[in-house]
Structure formats: C-alpha cells, structure tokens
Amino acid sequence: ANKGSDSYSAILTIKELADADAGAYRCAIVNPHGKGNANFNLKLTGFSSPTFVEKPQISSRDDGQVMVMEFRAKSILEPTFVWQKLVGGGAEEIIANSDRIKAVKKLEAGNVYYSALEIKEPTKDKDAGQFICTVKNESGKLTATFTVKFEVPEGAPSFTRK
C-alpha cells in the first residue's frame, strides 16, 4: 500500500473572531492505519477592542436648542460608555441624564453602537471646553474627543451699552 504519501489539510474557520476564542486547540486525525493529533495555541490580545465606525462629530437640533456630540463604534463584546468633561487639567465625570444633559447609547445592527451626549440650551459658561467619551470592553478601549467652542460669526450684530 501507499502509506504516508498522501497529503491532506484540515482547516478550522472561526467567524467573527474574538478574544474569547483564544486558547488551546487540537485536531484529531484518524484513518484505518492509525491516529494522530495536531495541537496549536491561538493567542489573541486586543483583537476585540472597540473601533470607530463613524468619527466623532458635533451637531445641533431643534434650531440650536440642543447640542449633540455623537459617534458610532463597533464592538463584538458589549462596551461601556463614560462621558467626561476636562476641567482644570483633569477629567471630571459628567452626571448624565439630568434635565439638561442626556447620554444616549443604542445598539444598532451588526455590533455597532450609537453614542451621543445631548445638552439642552448650551451656554459658553457651562459647556465650552473638551469632552471625552471612553468606550471600554474586556479587550480594550477607544476614546472620542470633542472640542466645544462658542464663536460669534463675522458680521453678527453686537450690542453696546450707553
């Protein structure tokens, strides 16, 4: 017989690979002439970290009454979203979902999450500055940064006191 001259290949396919798929794998090979094993170790780190699908942007709605800081991120593992505002050199966590400020997190199709921070009636005194949203899952993190400026457009009317 023609022992050992035939060559075969075995393929393991893992769809939507995630960090949880890491570990030891064994392929058992059996035929009428005997059996054998092929062992391998799959290492994955940071593979399932969140990634941007839509870059961070600032918009407004309701005729400028609501400022919206928003982005979309893809994450195979369920992430957490923490919104902060930089104050005096350090980050300060935002107390979301007040009458004025609302944090939004929605799971959309295909492991895509929509996240937004909505601020009603924004003012320069309270809301100018840098905002950060940190998206974290078990595998890693992603940071969305927003810079809010209040600028008077050129040619806008100004008032003087007399």
Instruction: Kindly report, residue by residue over 63-104, the tens digit of the pLDDT.
Output: 889 999 999 999 988 999 999 998 877 778 777 788 999 999
Structural domain boundaries enclosing 139: 51-148
pLDDT at 131: 93
Q: What are the structure tokens assigned to 17, written together?
A: 């690979």
Tokens matching residue 50: 């969140």
The single residue listed with the structure tokens 């009454």 is 65
Assess if residue 18 is contained within a domain: no
- Domain-embedded: residue 142: yes
**Residue 125: phi, psi to the nearest 5?**
-60, -45
Give me the CATH number covering residue 99: 2.60.40.10
Would you say residue 45 lies in a domain? no
Q: How many residues does the chain have?
A: 162
H/E stretch holding 124 = helix 124-127
Domain-embedded: residue 156:
no
Residue type, 77: L
Q: What is the pLDDT along the chain (162 residues), one digit of tens a residue?
A: 445 567 778 888 888 777 678 888 888 888 888 898 888 888 776 668 899 999 999 999 998 899 999 999 999 889 999 999 988 777 787 777 889 999 999 999 889 999 999 999 999 888 999 999 999 998 899 999 999 998 877 766 666 666
Tokens 């970290």, residue?
49
**Which of helix, strand or coil describes residue 54?**
strand
Q: What is the DSSP letter of 45?
A: S
Q: Is the dihedral of CA 116, 122, 126, 130 positive or negative?
A: positive
Domain annotation covers residue 89: yes
Helix (H) or strand (E) holding 143: strand 140-148
